[in-house]
Structure 1
Amino acid sequence: MLSKKKNELIKPHIHSQFFHNLSNYFATQTIEIITPQAFMQFFRNTEKLNQLTPEDRTEIFRTVLLGSSDLTKDLLNEILRDYSVEHLEVIDCKSC
């Protein structure tokens, strides 16, 4: 995981339930190396996903994107629509 400082690695919260659940999942799958496909398989498993705490979900949401170029007006508005947030809208502000 990268911090806001360029290329500075930071350690995730070691006691996070998310990492505990993820470790348990992979341990039961007898996977020696976690591939991107196996990692995504965990998140596409509704039963496993439902074991994540709200804090885990927030942690994933806040850290999964690589950087500021991933955050676009369209993406943010799409997320707002996906979550039925009708009282907010992202606008462009070129002069801000």
Structure 2
Amino acid sequence: MAISKDLIASIFLLCLVLVHQVESQRILSNGGVASSNIPRINCGGACAARCGLSKRPNLCQRICGTCCFRCNCVPPGTYGNFAACPCYASLTTRNNKRKCP
């Protein structure tokens, strides 16, 4: 039983699509940057400083950590300063409210 050329071509194209999908996910997980040599910031420390005066510090740090992981930055101070980290400021909830504290 011989394998047809169409089957081989289909398998090859499927492999290319899978490789493309994996590479796209890797790029998205790096905040839109393809290089994995970019140093990651200490999200725990940055978010602890950002959420230090929050009424709900555990919730604030959890949300801040998610935003920090995606953007690799946290604005300075305890509130505002979103211009220092545009990616952090651009993340929104389903209701188009700012996600990150």
Which protein has the larger Cα radius of gyration, Structure 1 or Structure 2? Answer: 2
Answer 1 or 2: which has greater helix percent: 2
Q: Same fold (TM over 0.5)?
A: no
Q: TM-score, normalised by structure 1?
A: 0.26
